[in-house]
Structure formats: structure tokens, C-alpha cells
Amino acid sequence: MKKKPRLAILTGGGDCPGINAVIRAVTKKAILDQGMEVIGIADGYHGLVKNRYRKLRYNDVSGILTLGGTILGTSKVANPYRYPVGQGKNLRFSDLSRRVINNLRRLKVDCMVCIGGDGTLGIAYQLFKDGVAIVGVPKTIDNDIRGTDVTFGFNSAVTIATEGIDRVHTTAQSHHRIMIVEVMGHQAGWVALHSGVAGGGDIILIPEIPYDVEVIAQRVKERNRKGKRFSIVVIAEGARPQGGNVAIQRIVQESADAVRLGGIGFILGEQLERITGLQTRTVVMGHLQRGGSPTAFDRVLATELGTTAMELVEKRKFGQMVGLSGARLVNVPLKIVAQGPRLVPLNHRLISSARSVGTCFGA
């Protein structure tokens, strides 16, 4: 019998709603349209290093469209080109990429679909240069991947963050407080910008616009003088004051991206309470933004990205990522994706729109 072509699927980086929808789309199209065997790699690049995997059949991916997370598991620390070995003072890094490539050959994998953010897809680009046939699918709540206007997971995260902002409005009004909502986004302000506008944030602070705490305090005082005895501040975890630094929650030495951001909302809250004399409370949305079922938008986008990725596989257009440009699905070289995060441009129309309705950006 003729050997069926074999496809591997890998999910890397932080989890987010919609990953399972992509796994479902890729697997079903691979089996139904292209007659392929599908191998699911466990726990991101860890699975390639440790040779952990399982076969995915049609029934294995039925019913997972609405599930958050990833049925394959994931990892934010497993980079085969800089793989952590040992712990603590004995921690060192080794290049295990050759082992990964050999494991794929032993599995008789013809090509691989990598679902991840710029870190995961940057590693995918390195593997592609080393001879692995790869197609990428952009996944992150941060929406910061080059080559696509939108990533799946972003809409779900913004929806959850907006709901959180909506809920603090009532307690802010009741107690005449400054309420600060800290959201994720890493180095980019997309989540804060979109949820801040959607939630009617009075002040939105993003990494791309370093803020002046005195400007923020002045805006809060102005609102009080006009009878608005509360203020809603939406702040990205990567926001920083002018001339200052980001707030670092902890360092994960074994990770390729060792810095974990967080806590800037509490720092700003203490400063505003001291300057304005108004009670201030901080809410950190944190991993609530990553969990739960994907929105309808993300389910549709994930399905389209997954099936289009398989079209690239069929046409043997490897070294590419599927992206969304306007309303069109496009393919983008992984080389571009690997160049680093896509930040919010200062001339973005949503910043202009927010300023037009009186939103302050702290500068």
C-alpha cells in the first residue's frame, strides 16, 4: 500500500481561545481533502525534543470547536535552539534542533503546521531554514504578529477585558473611585486600546505612548470638577512612565522570553491616590483573558486560518504563515514574522477616534 502523507501539528506559546478550532480545521481538512495522517505534537516544542506525540483521528477533533486552551498542550519555555537543561545554578542551554529534525524524520513527517505567536513562529522559521517543511498559523491574544491585521484569540481577549471594564464602572461610580484595569498585551497595546475604547475608558495607557502621571492626575481632577466623580483607567501590562521602566512581575530564566510583565496598575494606583487624594483600586484581568470559549469571531477566523494553512500545504508553499489583510486571507513569509512584534502605530485611527471623544493617553 502507498504510504499516506503525514502531517504534524504543534501549538506553542501561551494558550488562548481558538487554538482547538484551528486544530480541528487543519485535522479535518487534512484527513477529508488530502487523505493525510495527522500527528499531534504534545506540549509545543517540548514534544519534538522529547518525542511525545499522538495520532489525531477525525473523531478526536470533533466537538472541540468551542473549547478553550489546546488539546495538545503547549509551552512557553521550549526552544529547541536554546533548550533549557538543569535548574537553578545548574541551568544551561543546549541546541537540540538536530534532535528535533531527526525525530520528525523518524516519525516520517512530511510537513508541519505550527500554531503560535511570534516566538513560536520565529522558531518555526529557523526549522524551515534547516529543511523542515512548515506552515504557520498566527495565534496570540496580544495581536502583535507581523503580517496579519488580526490574530485569532485577540477578539476573545478583548471581549473578556471589555466585560471586566464594564463591571468596574458601577463600583467606580458608587464609591467615587479611580478604577484601574490592567490588561495583557506584553510589549504591544492592542488589547488595552481596543478594550479601553469598547469599555469607555477615560484614560488608556499603552506601551507605545509612555505616560506622565501628572497628566493623568490632572485629567482625573478635571473630571471631578465637572461632576464626574470617578475615572476608569485601562492600562496595558507593558505600559511605562516617561523616562521610566516597565513593571516586571518575575523572571523565568529557562524561557526564551524571560521577562514576565505585571503590576504596573498597582504602581500607578498608589501614585494617583497620593497625588489626587482619591481612593484608587486596581483590577488585574490576567489569565482570565486567555481562558474560556472563543468568541464566534475567533471560531470563524480560526477555522478559515486552519483550512487555508492546509491549502498552502497542498500547494507546497512552505515557510509561510496564513494571515488576514483587511478582509482577505493572505500568506506571509515566516522571515517577516520572525522580525519581532507588531506594535500599535501612533497614527492608528483608533487612537485618533479615542482622542476625538475625549480619551486621555497620559501624555
Catalytic site residues? 142
Q: Are 333 and 143 in contact (CB under 8 A)?
A: no
Per-residue b or e along 290-302, where b marks 16 or more CB atoms closer than 10 Å to that residue's CB: bebbbbebbbebb
DSSP state of 239: -
Length of the chain counted residue by residue: 363
- Measured between alpha carbons, how far is 142 from 122 in angstroms, rounded to an integer? 16
- Measured between alpha carbons, how far is 156 from 67 in angstroms, rounded to an integer? 12
DSSP state of 256: S
Residue 269 exposed, middle or buried by CB count within 10 Å (0-12, 13-18, 19+):
buried
Report the relative pairing of strands 248-251 and 259-261 from DSSP bridges: antiparallel
Q: Are 65 and 296 in contact (CB under 8 A)?
A: no
